[in-house]
Amino acid sequence: RARSAPDAIAEALIGEIRSGGLAAGTPLPPERELCERFDASRPTVREALALMQMRGFLDAGGGRRPRTTRPSLQTILLAAADHIRDLMGDAEGGAHLEQMRQFIETGAAREAAMRRDRLQ
């Protein structure tokens, strides 16, 4: 599936954050500059910024320019909780959630076993 313009803009900016081109805590350029840079409308740029905020790469609000940030475990878990809540609404979703739980537990057990061997 082709990425939408907001997705592409968000990914480009997230790539800069990951690479260190935009350090955590750095204010983003004004919307006008982002519109020019990505040849996009303000609504498109705003949607991209909302995606970044939802993924934990942007701290916005308080009447100031949005600042870059790195996702924390807390922001990731809060976002996952919203998705889990949505999945719990039907039987198929519950089955998917159980599969996800088993996948995570298996990986966690494997990681614990590897660390145990290294520590002993």
- In tens, the pLDDT along 71-108 reads 887 777 777 777 777 767 766 776 777 787 788 888 88
CATH number for the domain spanning 35: value is 1.10.10.10
User: Distance (Å, rounded) from C-alpha 103 to C-alpha 96?
Assistant: 11
User: Distance (Å, rounded) from C-alpha 1 to C-alpha 79?
Assistant: 23
Say yes or no to pLDDT of 119 above 60: no
Task: Give me the chain's average pLDDT, please.
Answer: 85
Are 98 and 56 found together in one domain? no
Per DSSP, 61 falls in state E
Are 60 and 94 found together in one domain? no
Q: Which of 68, 84, 109 is the last residue of a domain?
A: 68
120: pLDDT confidence band, cut at 50, 70 and 90? Answer: low
Length of the chain: 120
Are 46 and 92 found together in one domain? no
Between 83 and 54, where is the model more confident? 54
DSSP bridge pairs for 68? 58
Are 64 and 77 found together in one domain? no
The residue segments making up the domain with residue 33 are 5-68
Helix (H, G, I), strand (E, B) or coil at 13: helix
Please give the tally of structural domains in the chain: 2
